[in-house]
Amino acid sequence: MKKYNAFLSLLLCAAMLASCSGGRETEAPDIAQDTAPSPTDGGAAEDAGETEAPETVPQRVSDSLPEGLDLGGVSTVFFTNPYTPFACNLVEDFTGEMLNDARYNTEITVEERLNADISEILGETSPYDFNAQVRNLIKSGDRNYSFMTNEDYIMMGQIQEGSFYALSDVPYLDMEAPYWLPEATGLYNIGGKIWYAFCPLNLYANQNTAILVMNLDLAENMGMEAQYDAVREGTWTFDRFMSLAEAGYSDLNNNGRDGKDQWGLVVDMPVKNVWCSVLVACGCEQEIITKDEENYLIYGYSEGLLDCLALSYDLFHSFALDSDAMPGFFKGHALFAMTKFDMLTTQYREVDFNFGVLPLPKYTEEQSRYYSRTYDACCPVIPITCPDAETAGAVLEALTCEAYNTSLPAYIENGLQNKYVRDEDSSEMVGIILQSQTVLVPEIMLFDQYGNSSFHSKFIEKNEMTAASSLQSLKNITQVKIRKLNEKYAKLAGN
């Protein structure tokens, strides 16, 4: 792969693009009790119960590009925010490391198949600074880039400005194909068009997927089971988890709670992500913002959401969720850590005790499945300044399919399931977690109100919180913003 610094290659043109606004209005009810199953009423309860072990590695599939498609040596260029290496779409060269080489093989296989040159230019590391670069490029009419990649909640804002094609409108892109993860990708469907997607070409969303890690040595010393069977039997619930976490605490130095105690639960990711991950785990990923029959956004939530928000609040205030306590887990002084896959591939490789991986629990046993929140998904989108959207569509379709067949299995089977976990049970749990990935819809659509940091700082970390009053305080602005979003997307869709 040819990878360059953006500042060496930006060729700015003078053309200016007008932004889009106005359009359709969708009325929002005060409470939409029927728009999403309540996590407390056992929505889809007929499917609840034991969890079957999933196929952990995706089956190889083929795309539907025409046989023998030849792009004549065309050059296609990604412009990417390199927040982490996993946010990049391509790698430099073969290194002998299995995942790296699988990712490089993805690129060269598609280059040879389509007779195309594929490269990536890296912009600013800050997602917000990169967003400003993207905005300037689009406004200037720059035609050097076929794809642009940044975090989902930021790119959704740019999409509203009319800067990118709807992915479902781009020739060759088959958004129903398994490699586009259509169930999760469908959450980005607004007004019948898919504006963003989950994409295995980069692995940042996988790295950011929420998990629990359990100190199995400490659990054995305390007479606790590893909880794998509870996950399989569908009995791994927050009640069960929190009772174990409470039992896990011990004041080792007899001076009250401090970083030298034995903790039941610590958090090895920014604490602002706890409430989001808990809400998703409880099956509330499409609460607050739901969809009407035409896939336009509406405001609404079930009574169950209030219970799950209260659970998030209680969990935050009942356990050691600050960074001062986290070193205890690495020293073997914590029973559980709430973290993400990224930590398995980095710091957890060095711990000297046995640990197991678990999904975040269900709210109740009646909940039909486990849900695992991810965030900051980075999918390439195609700017309206792209030199040839049809060519870009062919390249992105081929890359996505090949990554699903090559890079993703290397990441899952050779990485997470063998290199980074300690037992076969955890390997099975990794499969359950990856197949339950989803996002918190209001976090993506209305980040200023429901983003991990904003809602956490305004409500969760306060000494007193009433879930109903917290949501009520955001009701008016949420309804106004939803109406404006629908107007923008309706106009972009030509409705």
Give the tens place of pLDDT for each residue, 87-99: 999 999 999 999 9
pLDDT given for residue 91 in this prediction: 96
Q: What is the DSSP string of 34-88?
A: TSS--TTTTTTGGG-SPPPPP--SPPP----PPTT---TTEEEEEEE--SSGGG-
Kindly report the average pLDDT of the chain as a whole number: 87
Averaged pLDDT for residues 57-63: 84
> Given this model, what pLDDT does residue 252 score?
82
Residues 6 or more apart whose CB falls under 8 angstroms from that of 41 comprise 302, 304, 366
pLDDT at 56 (0 to 100): 58
Instruction: Provide the residue type at 378 as one letter.
Output: C
**What average pLDDT does range 128-153 have in this prediction?**
97
| Strand pairing report for 297-300 and 288-291 | antiparallel
pLDDT for 317 equals 84
pLDDT at 269: 85
Among candidate residues 377, 382, 372, the one with its CA nearest the CA of residue 444? 377
**Which pLDDT value is given to residue 41?**
47
Asked whether residue 37 carries a pLDDT value surpassing 80, the answer given is no
Per-residue pLDDT tens digits for 453-484: 889 988 888 877 788 899 999 999 999 999 99
In the chain, what percentage of residues exceed pLDDT 70?
Answer: 86
- Structure tokens, 477: 């602005």
Contact 360, 211 (CB under 8 A): yes
pLDDT higher at 59 or 142: 142
Q: What is the pLDDT of residue 50?
A: 62
pLDDT of 34 strictly over 50? no
Q: Measured at the alpha carbon of residue 43, what is the angle toward residues 452 and 459, in degrees to the nearest 5?
A: 25
Q: Which amino acid is at 115?
A: N
Amino acid 36: pLDDT:
42
DSSP calls for 89-147: S--SS--S-HHHHHHHHHHHHHHHHHTEEEEEEE--SSHHHHHHHHHHHHHHT--S-SE
pLDDT for 462: 83
- CA distances to 166, 293, 296, 439 from 24, rounded to whole Å, are 18, 15, 10, 26
Q: What is the pLDDT of residue 19?
A: 32
pLDDT at 279 over 50: yes
Chain segment 374-415, per-residue pLDDT in tens: 999 999 999 999 999 999 999 999 999 999 999 999 999 888
Residue 40 has pLDDT above 90, yes or no: no
Among candidate residues 170, 181, 171, 183, the one with its CA nearest the CA of residue 206: 181
What count of residues does the chain have?
A: 495
Percent of the chain whose predicted confidence (pLDDT) is above 90: 70
CB crowding 16-32: b at 16 or more within 10 Å, else e: eeeeeeebbebebeeeb
* 140 has a pLDDT exceeding 90: yes
> Average pLDDT of 439-451?
94
State residue 107's pLDDT score: 98
What pLDDT is recorded for position 28? 35
Has residue 217 got a pLDDT over 60? yes
User: What confidence score (pLDDT) does residue 57 get?
Assistant: 61
Q: What is the pLDDT of residues 301-333, one digit of tens each?
A: 988 999 999 999 988 888 756 555 566 677 788
What are the structural domains of the chain? 2-19+72-206+376-424 (3.40.190.10), 208-374+436-493 (3.40.190.10)
Query: What's the whole-number mean pLDDT along residues 446-455?
Result: 92
In the numeric block, which tokens belong to residue 281? 């785990």
Q: What is the mean pLDDT of residues 131-149?
A: 97
- Average pLDDT for residues 426-448, to the nearest whole number? 94
pLDDT at res. 99: 93
